[in-house]
């Protein structure tokens, strides 16, 4: 995240402003035990965990805003949040204090003063997701929480060729639901698939994503990789005006929000 990287360099030079900071932070979490990022009336959420930690450290209730509302079981390496904090010490101390009280499956990786007018969601230019498939015959207990086990051999090169048809602006109605409104057009900036040993990675970057969009795309890409669907027919799914695609969404544990670009 180019803007984020530039701002992080000012971390140690941040000055106090009446005890209030407009803060941006990069958060990493294992989403296995959470009902998603967004706070809910009941159940454990990542937002709820972070706001609980902020209240404990600052002694003030604080609402945070995220770049994306990941679903239940989805992970993040580069989730970005912003919030206004009452804090009378350097921001590096706030990062340390938060990590001291947060649950072990959530961590604040970077924290600094946000640029003027910065908004974690609306300032974002694109988001990058990676879906990881463990394509080995025998399941791997160590990879259970962060990959989807698919034992049948996959042709990652065929999947990569199919991904090329996703580039550009398309109506992804068949693959997901808009978080608000009715607009289902999204611009795919980068799409590809690669294999490293038994791990197959589907990498997607777009200006924004629909709910379940990545997981439904991957489910149908797996059909391409297994030979059940041609690359041409996969791209043809974009013309559907219903959501009855050949494959349903793959499980959440293989999905990770890796980066938000500003």
Which residues does the annotation mark as catalytic?
A: 71
β-bridge partners, 250: none
- Are residues 146 and 253 in contact, defined by beta-carbon separation less than 8 angstroms? yes
CB 146 within 8 A of CB 75: yes
Cα distances (angstroms) measured from residue 52 to each of 62, 98, 109, 207: 9, 10, 17, 30
- Give the whole-angstrom CA distance, residue 86 versus residue 84: 7
Residues 6 or more apart in contact with residue 233 via CB below 8 angstroms: none
CA distance 28 to 106: 6
Measured CA to CA in angstroms, residue 199 lies from 149, 153, 172, 193, 255 at distances of 9, 11, 26, 11, 13
| Burial of 79: CB neighbours in 10 Å, binned 0-12, 13-18, 19+ | buried
- Kindly give, in sequence order, each residue whose CB lies less than 8 Å from that of residue 177, ignoring residues fewer than 6 positions away: 184, 210, 211, 212
The residue among 254, 261, 212, 258 whose CA lies nearest residue 71 is 212
Which residues are registered as beta bridge partners of 186? Answer: 170
């Amino acid at each position: 995240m180019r803007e984020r990287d530039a701002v992080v360099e000012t971390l140690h030079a941040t000055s106090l402003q009446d005890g209030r900071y407009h803060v941006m932070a990069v958060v990493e979490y294992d989403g296995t035990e959470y009902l998603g990022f967004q706070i809910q009336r009941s159940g454990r959420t990542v937002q709820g965990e972070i706001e609980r930690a902020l209240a404990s450290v600052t002694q003030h209730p604080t609402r945070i805003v995220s770049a994306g509302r990941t679903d239940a079981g989805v992970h993040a390496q580069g989730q970005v949040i912003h919030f206004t904090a009452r804090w009378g010490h350097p921001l590096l101390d706030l990062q340390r204090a938060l990590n001291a009280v947060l649950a072990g499956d959530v961590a604040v990786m970077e924290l600094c003063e946000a640029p003027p007018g910065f908004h974690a969601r609306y300032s974002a230019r694109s988001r990058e997701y990676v879906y990881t498939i463990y394509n080995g015959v025998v399941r791997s207990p160590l990879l259970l929480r962060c990959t989807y086990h698919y034992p049948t051999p996959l042709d990652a090169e065929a999947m990569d060729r199919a991904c090329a048809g996703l580039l550009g602006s398309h109506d992804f109605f068949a693959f997901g639901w808009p978080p608000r409104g009715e607009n289902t057009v999204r611009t795919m900036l980068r799409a590809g698939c690669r294999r490293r040993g038994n791990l197959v990675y589907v990498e997607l970057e777009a200006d924004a994503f629909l709910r379940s969009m990545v997981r439904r795309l991957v489910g149908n890409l797996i059909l391409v990789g297994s030979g059940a669907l041609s690359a041409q027919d996969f791209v043809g799914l974009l013309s559907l005006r219903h959501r009855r695609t050949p494959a349903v969404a793959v499980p959440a544990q293989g999905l990770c929000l890796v980066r938000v670009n500003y």
